[in-house]
Amino acid sequence: MKIISEVSRELEVHGIESAKVNAEVMLSSLLGCERVDLYAGDMTMPDTYSKHLNDMVSRRIAGEPLQYITGRSDFYGNEFLAEPGVFIPRPETEVLVEAVLDLLKTYDMRHTTYKTSILDLCTGTGNIAISLAKLLAHCKIVGSDISVKAVDLAMRNAKLHNVLSRVEFIRADLFDAPMIGRGLFDIIVSNPPYIAREGIRALPSDVKKEPQEALDGGRDGLYFYRRITEESPRFLKKGGILAFELGDDMCEEVEGLLTRSGSFKEIRIRKDLNNIERVITALRN
């Protein structure tokens, strides 16, 4: 399609990285097809779609994230609804899902009763909780987030992926909800806000369009790691797993928090595809 080249050039002129990919994603979203279908010989764009495409391009040039424009975000081979006001899933978070799955195979989880119980803190779109629910037939997952928008979107994503019967989303400030205290969990997993407050100003313009509460990790970026490390032993079964996603260069600090707490053992690190220490896991003593 000639329009792909035209949109790509316009995006490039305005400094948008991966302009061709952006153009393909917007066009395929608008036309309801796969990106590869755009290159089919008989593929054309109706004239009535031109205004919609121009609006999408204008929003992208203005710095709005591509996922908010299309209303979709890919994660772990699945498509999730995305909306302004809710943190967008990142590919590196897939390492966190893989770490949890591998730990379930590695560690003796026979202390669980019927279903593996999982708590996903700072759930956002629900991408972690839903991905785990789709891969683990015998599990019960609670996802919590302080954002009403996030909880609403996560519930819609769970319905979209047919796991609403095994995943429940609630509004809570981490553990601060009555239902979380009703029992102990086998796994607590979290991709918390971890950008140091002063560093938010230096983020790319499209990232700054995402909700600040999903980015702001406090003065040093460690606020949520401290809280979860301190509070999670009350909600985690003995031998249960705590798994965090890590911000860049945060491994040593978070590992220190877990070690000094005295509540955890067998601390392990997992790197992402860029060889960055991306996930840290530990077992409750």
Cα 248–chain centre separation: 16
Tokens of 93: 């978070």
Considering the candidates 75, 169, 191, 235, report the single residue annotated as catalytic: 191
C-alpha–C-alpha distance, residues 284 and 243, integer Å: 11
Tokens of 120: 């996903």
How crowded is the C-beta side of 208, counted as CA atoms within 13 Å?
A: 11
| 84 assigned to active site | no
| 244 assigned to active site | no
Q: Rounding to the nearest 10 degrees, give the CA dihedral for residues 217, 223, 226, 228.
A: -60
Residue 44 burial (CB count, 10 A): 9
Question: Which DSSP string do the residues of 47-82 spell out, in sequence order?
Answer: GGGHHHHHHHHHHHHTT--HHHHHTEEEETTEEEE-
Q: Which amino acid is at 33?
A: C
- Spell out the long-range contacts of 100-103 with Cβ–Cβ below 8 A and sequence spacing 24 or more: 100/132, 100/187, 100/189, 100/241, 100/243, 100/281, 101/132, 101/135, 101/136, 103/187, 103/241, 103/243, 103/281
| 235 assigned to active site | no
Per DSSP, which regions of 98-181 are E strands? 116-121, 139-145, 167-171
Considering the candidates 192, 193, 233, 235, report the single residue annotated as catalytic: 192
Considering the candidates 87, 169, 244, 264, report the single residue annotated as catalytic: 87
The full length of the chain comes to 285
Catalytic sites, residue numbers: 87, 191-192
